[in-house]
Amino acid sequence: MLLLHKRPTYLLHLLWLCCLAVCAATAWLALQPPWLGVQLAGIEGKVRVVEAFLQQIPEGAEVKRLISATGTSIDLLATDMVENADYFPSYAKKDEFFARQSALYAMLYAGEVSIVWNANEGAEHTTSIKPRQRPLASLSAIFWFQLAVVSTAFMIACWVWLMRPQDWGARMFALTGLSLLMGGITGVLMSERALALDGAWFSTLDNANSLSAHFFGSSIVALILCYPRQLVAPRTLWWLPILCIPGWLAYSFHLLPTPSETMIAISILVSLAFIGGGVQWRLTRGQPLERAALRWFLLSVLLAAALFTFTNVAPTMFDKPPLLPVGYSIGFFLIMYVGIALGLRRYRLFDMDEWAYRVFLWVAGATSVIALDALLIFTGVTEGASLGISLLLCGWLYFPFRQWLWQRIVSRQAPNFESLLPEISTIAFTASATEQQAHWEALLKRVFDPLEIRADGDSGSGLHEEGLGMRVPGCGKIPVYALRYAGRGARLFSTRDAVFAASLSQLLEQVMSGRSGYEQGVAQERLRIGRDLHDNIGARLLKLIHHLRGTPDAEVARDAMKDLRTAIASMDTHPVPLGNALADWRAEAGSRCEAAGCRLHWRQSDSLPAVELAPRSKAMLESTMREIITNALKHAAPSYVKVDVAADAARLRASVENDGAIADPLTWKDGYGLRNMRGRLEELGGSLSIAAGENEVKLILEVPLL
């Protein structure tokens, strides 16, 4: 086993050479029986020449009998040309078939034979031919097709096993490849015979073919029982092929009622594979990677097995010829091996998820046509009419149903860019970075419906963890987001999802760039207005303050100057830390109270949240605080003003109370000042409330900080 880990490539090459040697030996064995220079086949109950290599008998001629040099005559039957002995419904018919094969083989081996034939129901002709060595060129295309299929399947199975030698699923897969290779070789030797094989040799090939079929079916069941979930103990898996040996011995020694009973046993194994697949499907619910691998696995195994059973096994159970030659039907298993290999190796399952459904629907359509065609033929409809009716009915019924099923199961209606553009614009023009991230997360959840979503420090993007996860590129202040388990864990992320996510991020970045250009223009305009106010209006107010110095109106001019400075400061593009803003408000409130002969009691939390106020938010809160204190000093003449400030990461709460002589707040009417204060706070998402005690009145303002 250590050698498997260290040198799998060398072992794979060695197995390939062995496989080529086996194929060469098979071709050599196929060329050994005596050859008459013609290829015969049973057609409509008659033996006809389908290919004349030596041109001594025309193609299409009916061969009636063979006569040996000693005068022994054997009439040829269409059943003499069947591909394998599974065609016969009883052991007596099989024994008779093998006996006729031995007699024909002995006649060919003895020397020159005379062939009695006729063309177009005309007069009989006799042609003497001496059997010779069969040339390699006479081997049919179906012979090489079967060898290519079983060899490719065997190498695929070996490749998966060498990559994962400790995995029980890979081991059972390798056993299926070996069984299929053995079955393919024995089958092609029987079907490729020019006329006859020695009966004993034919019987040996038939028994070996039956053994390989039993091993193959049991190995498929064992594979489903251990992949992707281990349903039984590993030692139990080895018993499945072993338990098939008694059934095979019963077949070989004619202990079953009929030879077709072995087909029933194989059909039971296929049914067990379906049941095991259903159990695996249930157990992998919520595991998208295992479910995607299982989907390809089951699609490949069950469809290939079902198609082979339908085209070859089922007709023989009804005493009907196979719908397809066994040599071509074996090609179904190549589809199976490719699909299983993809599932076991988990190669880009996120891209193949939809193709699994596409292949299933395509094969289902072909199967429906074949099934309906066969049913009509069994009921007595001619072949041409049955095919036409089958295509017509499937066109009317199946294809609309397939489209409906595709829309229901496969087509996931992802939002398009047009429907998402308003949300993208909302995210781009949201001022707070925290709010931007929250909106972006909500958008990603709605589009991809992942079980997990989090900001990721990695800078990479695209798919990872074999499609279980996906990273969405960051843009602006929005970081890279890692998403896992798409569709609430029902599917894998696909490359289409990755492209769509990258396009969304790119679109958001472009909208943000437009917003940045807009904000830059606004900032420049604000700067110009601020400079004009400072240079023109500010200079005039300063001149007025100096002119009114010593008069009561000087204080009004100073207040106007402060309001102007606040307005200019609100145009600054730089946020202000909350602690600095509170210090400015406290200093201004202290100077106002001191000038009015009033004490200021200012209390605030020792630990303030590390948040910053936008310039406009600071200016609006500053104006509100100034208005509250101004009204208290102007209308109540208090002896003290108490300010209590509390803040956390979400909200700022400030209360201002005084002990001045003032009317009951319930009798207040919202004047210009109160309306202004409420309007400013509501614009920030806050509120203003008024409460009165026995000897004091309190105004409470609350605003969000996010």
Query: What DSSP line would sit under 528-581, residue for residue?
Result: HHHHHIIIIIHHHHHHHHHHTTTSTHHHHHHHHHHHHHHHHHHT-SS-EEHHHH
d(CA 570, CA 573): 8
User: Which of these, 662, 663, 660, lies nearest to 639 by C-alpha position?
Assistant: 660
- Determine the pLDDT at residue 202: 92
pLDDT at 197: 92
What the block records as the tokens of 343 is 């599932």
On the CB side of 477, CA atoms within 13 Å amount to 14
Could you tell me which of 49, 68, 73 has the C-alpha nearest to residue 113? 68
Maximum C-alpha span of the chain: 153
The pLDDT of residue 104 is: 92
| CA distance linking residue 262 with residue 211, whole number of Å | 10
pLDDT of residue 356: 46
- pLDDT at position 381 is 63
Phi, psi of 493, deg, nearest 5: -70, 140
What is the pLDDT at residue 235? Answer: 79
What is the pLDDT at residue 349? 43
Q: Which domains does the chain have, with CATH numbers?
A: 32-134 (2.30.42.10), 140-191+199-230+245-410 (no CATH), 417-514 (no CATH), 576-704 (3.30.565.10)
Which residue in this structure is represented by tokens 């095919």? Answer: 387
Tokens standing for 118? 């006729």
Listed as ranges, residues in the chain with pLDDT below 70 are 1-9, 260-264, 266, 289, 302, 313-321, 326, 341-418, 431, 457-460, 466, 488-491, 514-548, 550, 552-559, 561-574, 661-672, 693-695, 706
Q: Please report the pLDDT score of residue 224 as a whole number.
A: 83
Q: Where are the beta strands (DSSP E) in 95-230?
A: 113-118, 124-129
pLDDT score, position 373: 59
pLDDT confidence of residue 29: 94
C-alpha to C-alpha distance for 589 and 550, rounded to whole angstroms: 22
Q: If DSSP codes are grouped into helix, strand and coil, which group holds residue 46?
A: strand
Q: pLDDT for 265-293, tens place per residue?
A: 767 777 777 788 888 888 887 777 677 77
Rounded Cα distance between 61 and 64, Å, is 9
